[in-house]
Amino acid sequence: MKRLEYKYLISADKIDALREELQYFTYKDKYLQNQQRDYTVRSIYFDTYHLRFYHEKIQGLLLRKKLRIRGYNSGNINSQVILEIKRKWENYIWKNRAPILLKDVNAFLNSGNFDLILSNTDGFSNAKRDAGYFLHHVLRNNLLPTALIVYDREPLIGSYNSDLRITFDKNLRYKLFPKVEELFTDDPLRLVMKDYFILELKFYNGFPGWLQKIVYKYQLTRKALSKYTICLEAERHLNMAYRRNILAFI
């Protein structure tokens, strides 16, 4: 089922006020532990030599995709991660996802051994099929790990509609040309947009009136934001750096 996703770029000095507004209509995500307010999202994005997916975003193509390896919080080579294709058509998104151990990612991409996919994990009923989609795109387009994107996510769920998900994505940071096994690294990462955060609203069945009022009150303007694109554009000499570093993968 396709989900709508709205994004807003907001000054960091408004975050406390928005938290206060939202507390009456939301509760904390169940995946938060104890007094934890947020968790860390880590993704290694794949792209072509000529940065096809980056340029498709810049050109405003209505139908786009992103391929990434995603992990959460801290971990190591033995941690479970997700092979993910995020597809987008206008404001609608849907995903193909497959779990695998980080230490097995390169072996899977090189050999196509589907026994490495953790197909018995709850919530991934089509794991091997989705892993096949991921492998197909990597091999067909000669995709390479282009950027490690890390941020801290503060998640909320709608009290009256559990399909509504609201997230504050903060402290966006990145590293270009990572190795797959560097998914859980913290150093060196470059911080971008330190004075802003990204508010994401995700829902299936309508935009509730109380949330519309909050958006209007704070004069929030919906934007076509991509953390991957933001981080690539933050790199001053992107094209030169890409061509210099890409030799390491050839």
pLDDT in tens, 54-93: 999 988 888 899 999 999 999 999 999 999 999 988 778 9
Q: Work out the widest C-alpha separation in the chain, in whole angstroms.
A: 54
Cα radius of gyration (the chain): 18
pLDDT in tens, 161-211: 889 999 999 999 999 999 999 999 988 899 999 999 999 999 987 889 999
| Structural class in CATH, domain 3-249 | alpha beta
Average pLDDT rounded to a whole number, residues 27-42: 84
Q: Judge contact between 131 and 99, C-beta under 8 A.
A: no
30: confidence class by pLDDT, cuts 50, 70, 90:
confident
pLDDT at 100 over 70: yes
Distance of CA 134 to the CA centre of its chain: 16
- Global pTM value: 0.91
What pLDDT is recorded for position 123?
82
Domain ranges of the chain: 3-249
Q: Judge contact between 55 and 146, C-beta under 8 A.
A: no
